[in-house]
Amino acid sequence: MLKYLTLMAIIYFFYWLIKQKIRNRKLEQQGIVVEQKGLRPITLMSIVMVVMYGGYMLYFLIFANNA
C-alpha cells in the first residue's frame, strides 16, 4: 500500500510542479516578476519521502517483532 501512496504523491508533485511552471510563465508574460521563496519543491518532496519511509520503518520495527 505504501508504494501506491508514494506513486500518488510523486504524480501529484509533478502535476503541481508543472502547474506552477505554467502559472509562473503566464505571470512573466504579463510582466509580473515571480520570486522563489522558501524551500525548493524537490527539497520538500525529499523531506516528505524520508518521513514516509522513516515512519514505515518504525512501524515495521515495532509491530513486526511482536508477531
d(CA 24, CA 33): 9
Which carries the bigger pLDDT value, residue 29 or residue 5?
29
Write the DSSP symbol of residue 4.
H
State the Cα–Cα distance between residues 18 and 12, nearest whole angstrom: 10
The secondary structure of 21-42, three-state, reads HHHHHHHHHCCCCCCCCCCCHH
pLDDT bracket for residue 56 (50, 70, 90): confident
Q: Is the pTM here over 0.85, yes or no?
A: no
Would you state the pLDDT for residue 67?
56
pLDDT digits over 38-55, tens only? Answer: 888 888 888 988 998 888
